[in-house]
Amino acid sequence: MNEMKLSPIGIVHSNYSRKTKHDYLDRVAIEAKIEIYHEFVDGLFKLEKFNELWILFWFTEIDEQERQTLRVHPRRNPDNPERGVFSTRSPARPNPIGLTKVKLLKIEKNILTVKGLDAFDNTLILDIKEV
């Protein structure tokens, strides 16, 4: 079997970061840019026809130890009863892949402008899929 290794196809440019997080509770309102690396630009062919897309990204801030996490209090709120990570969206999980549906506002060359991407600035993008 091939090793399961990922390569980023692009990177997020956003005002949304660990620091500004609390200003963006309405994550649907977040606008961000996704820069697609030049070698993957051909994969954007005809993408402008789509209004909504799935974005898969890597939770860059999760380290090896946090990948051992199997139970969490959802939204890091101790009042929320503990659950296994597989019934949550917690970033701390064995394979720290994030999944968000975004609205595509614009494509200019290799830059996508999207709405609703709750990934921090500098997050690495793994994939974009048809909804």
Residue with Cβ nearer its own copies (15 or 37): 37
Among 47, 73, 103, 113, binds its own copies (CB under 8 A): 47
Distance of alpha carbon 115 from alpha carbon 38, whole angstroms: 22
Residue 76 lies near its own copies (rule: CB under 8 A):
no
- Does residue 35 come out as left (phi exceeding 0), alpha (psi in the -120 to 50 range) or beta? beta
Strand partners, 127: 56
Q: C-alpha angle 10/57/91, rounded to 5°? A: 150
Span from 11-19, 24-32, 113-121, 123-131 in contact with its own copies (CB under 8 A): 123-131
Residue 4 lies near its own copies (rule: CB under 8 A):
yes
Residue with Cβ nearer its own copies (13 or 74): 74
Question: What is the 3 state secondary structure string of 28-76?
Answer: HHCEEEEEECHHHHHHHCCHHHCCEEEEEEECCCCCCCHHHCCEECHHH
Q: Shortest approach of its own copies to residue 85 CB, angstroms?
A: 5
* Total residues binding its own copies (CB under 8 A): 47
Span from 16-24, 25-33, 53-61, 113-121 in contact with its own copies (CB under 8 A): 53-61
